[in-house]
Amino acid sequence: MKKLWITLLLLPGWAQASWALLDPKGPIAADEKQLILTAFALMLIVVIPVIVMTFAFAWKYRASNTAATYAPKWDYSHQVEAVVWLVPAVIVLILSTLVWRSTHALTPEKPLVSAVKPLTVQVVAMNWKWLFIYPEQGVASVNELVIPVGTPVQFLITSDSVMNSFFIPRLGGQIYAMAGMQTELNLQADEPGTYRGLDTQFSGAGFSGMHFETQATPVAAFEQWVKDTRNSRLVLDDTRLKQLEVPSEDVTPTRFSRVTPQLFESILQKYAPHAGAQIKG
Give the count of domains, the chain: 2
Domain boundary among 105, 128, 155: 105
- What is the C-alpha separation between 262 and 279, in angstroms, rounded? 18
- For residues 41 and 33, the answer to whether their CB atoms sit within 8 Å is no
For the segment 181-231, what is each residue's pLDDT rounded down to a tens digit?
A: 999 999 999 999 999 999 999 999 999 999 999 999 999 999 999 999 999
The CATH number of residue 91's host domain is 1.10.287
For the segment 36-79, what is each residue's pLDDT rounded down to a tens digit?
A: 999 999 999 989 999 999 999 999 989 899 888 888 788 888 99
Give the domain extent around 50. 20-105
Q: Are residues 172 and 57 in the same domain?
A: no
**In this structure, is residue 176 part of a structural domain?**
yes
For residue 239, pLDDT beyond 50: yes
Q: Are residues 160 and 32 in the same domain?
A: no
Higher pLDDT, 99 or 10: 99
Torsions phi, psi of 147, nearest 5? -135, 150
For residue 174, pLDDT beyond 80: yes
For the segment 145-166, what is each residue's pLDDT rounded down to a tens digit?
A: 999 999 999 999 999 999 999 9
- For residues 215 and 144, the answer to whether their CB atoms sit within 8 Å is yes
Q: Are residues 177 and 199 in the same domain?
A: yes
For residue 111, pLDDT beyond 60: yes
- What is the C-alpha separation between 193 and 83, in angstroms, rounded? 48
Domain boundary among 105, 133, 148: 105
Confidence of residue 11 (pLDDT cuts 50, 70, 90): very low
- What is the C-alpha separation between 155 and 26, in angstroms, rounded? 15
- What is the C-alpha separation between 72 and 185, in angstroms, rounded? 59
For residue 266, pLDDT beyond 80: yes
Q: Are residues 143 and 191 in the same domain?
A: yes
Domain boundary among 71, 105, 139: 105
The CATH number of residue 228's host domain is 2.60.40.420
The reported pLDDT for the residue numbered 16 is 54
Q: Are residues 130 and 268 in the same domain?
A: yes
Please compute Rg for the chain using Cα positions.
25
Q: Are residues 264 and 138 in the same domain?
A: yes
Residue type, 223: E
Q: Are residues 242 and 153 in the same domain?
A: yes
Q: Would strands 119-126 and 153-159 be described as parallel, antiparallel, or unpaired?
A: parallel
Q: Are residues 123 and 75 in the same domain?
A: no
Q: Are residues 123 and 94 in the same domain?
A: no
